[in-house]
Amino acid sequence: MTLGVYWDGREVGRLDRVDERSREYSFSYTRAPQAISLSLPLRNESFRPSECRPFFEALLPEGVVRERIAQQLKLVASDSFALLAELGRDCAGALQIMQEGAELDAPSVAWLEDRELDSLIEKLPIHPLGIDAGDRRLRLSLAGVQNKAVLVRDSAGRFGKPLAGMPSSHILKPQPSAGGERTGTEGYPGLAVNEYFCMCLAARCGLSAAPVELATLAGRPCLVVERFDRDLSVWPPRRIHQEDLCQALGLTPDFKYQREGWRLPSYRALAEVLNDHAAAPGVDRLAAARAVVFNFLIGNADAHAKNISVMHTENGMRLAPLYDLVATAVYPDLSPELSLGIGDELNPDAISLIHWVDLAGDFGLNANAFARTRRGLVELVRAEAIRLRDEARMDGWHHPCIEDIRAVIDARSPRVI
C-alpha cells in the first residue's frame, strides 16, 4: 500500500511500506514546491524510516489515547503507517495523508445539537478526539495525551464533526473527571480553568497565544481553543502548515524532554532554527525568550519541544502562538523539573542570574537588555494576574487553582529579576 501526502489538495509526496510484513515506511517527494519539514529537505532520494519517522509519528496521538483509538479501529497501536492511513485526512498543519487513488467524499460537517455535543464530551474517554469507528467518514488526528474533541465551528457558534477531510477549526478540552481510566490528566482539579487563566494571562501580557474561551459543556468547564494552524477568515477553513520543534529537529516525540547533557532538544536549538529559517529571526528569538520567562513564572514545567511550533506561512517561517499553557506547579504529584533547561538547568529552584544570562546568549540577546525585559514582564504578569483573578470572580469562573497560580508567580518572581 502507498499513502499519498497532500498539501492544499495536491500530492507532494508518498509513504511506502518497506515490505508487506514490516511496519516501517519510507517517504519520498513527488511534486512538492517546498519541503514539508525542516528535517526533510527537498531531495530526489527517498527518506529512510529513521529519517522520516520523527515527522510523521508526531502527527499521531500519544500514549493511552493512541492505544484506545487503535483498539477501536482494530489496529496495532505501534503500526503508525496503518494509523496514518485511517486518521491522516485532518492532521496538525496543512498536510493530509490518505491512500493513493482513493475516491473521496466531498468535505462536509455533521452539525451537533447541544445534547449531541454534551454526549460527545462525555464519551471522550471511550472515543478519543470524538472518533467513532462506526462512522468511516470521520478520520482525523491530533497529537497529545489529553482527552479532547477536534471539531469545526461556524460563524454562528455551532460545533460539528468534520467529515471526509473537512478542516477542523477548534479543539475542546473538557475538565477531566476524577474517576475512570487515566490518560495522565484525570483528577487534576481546575485543569480547564488553569489553562484558560494561563492562556488569557499570556495574551494580556503581550505574548502571542492561541485564542481561547471557557464554556460549560456536559456540565463541566471546557476549554475551547481556536486552532492557529487554520485560517478561519474563509469557509471552509484553510489549513496553514506548521511543525513542532521535535519535527523540525528530526526527533521522535519520546525525545520531547531535554535531559542533562543533551544538546537536543533545547532552547539553544530553537534559537538556531529561528535564526536560520525565520522570516524575522530577531523578533521571534525575543518572543521565544519572553515565553520562557512566562512559562517559568507561571510554573509550567511541561513546555516541552512538542509544545513549541513554527508556522510555514506565505511570508516565511514564523514562531507559532503559544498553546498548552498550564501551571503544572500547582499539582504536587507532577514533577517540577523543567522540560527544557534554562541555561541547561532543569531544576526550577536552582535558577539564578547566571542561567538567565546564559539563556540570553542562547537566543542571541543582549544580557542587560534581556534583564530589563524580564523585569518588565514580571511586573506585567503580577499585575495582570490580579486583574484577571478579579474578573474570574466577577464573571463566575474562579477556581482555587487561580490563587495557587498567583502564589507560584509571586514565589518565582525574585528568581527572574
Say yes or no: 211 and 266 in one domain: no
Question: 369-414 pLDDT, tens per residue?
Answer: 999 999 999 999 999 999 999 999 999 999 999 999 999 999 999 9
Last residue of a domain, one of 42, 71, 99: 99
Instruction: Pick the last residue of a domain from 37, 72, 99.
Output: 99
pLDDT at 187: 66
Active site (annotated) includes residue 395: no
Range of the domain at 257: 240-416
pLDDT at position 181: 44
pLDDT at 20: 76
Mean pLDDT per 10-residue interval, the chain, length 417 residues: 92 92 92 95 97 97 90 92 94 92 80 96 87 59 80 96 94 81 65 98 98 96 98 96 98 95 94 98 98 98 98 95 98 97 96 98 98 98 98 98 98 97
pTM: 0.95
What is the structure's pLDDT at 136?
52
Domain boundary (231, 252, 269) is at 231
CA dihedral 13, 19, 23, 27 (to 10 degrees): -20
pLDDT at 47: 98
Q: One of 284, 302, 324, 344 is an active-site residue; which one?
A: 302
- Look up the CATH number of the domain holding residue 333: 1.10.1070.20
284 shares its domain with 360:
yes
Domain count, the chain: 3
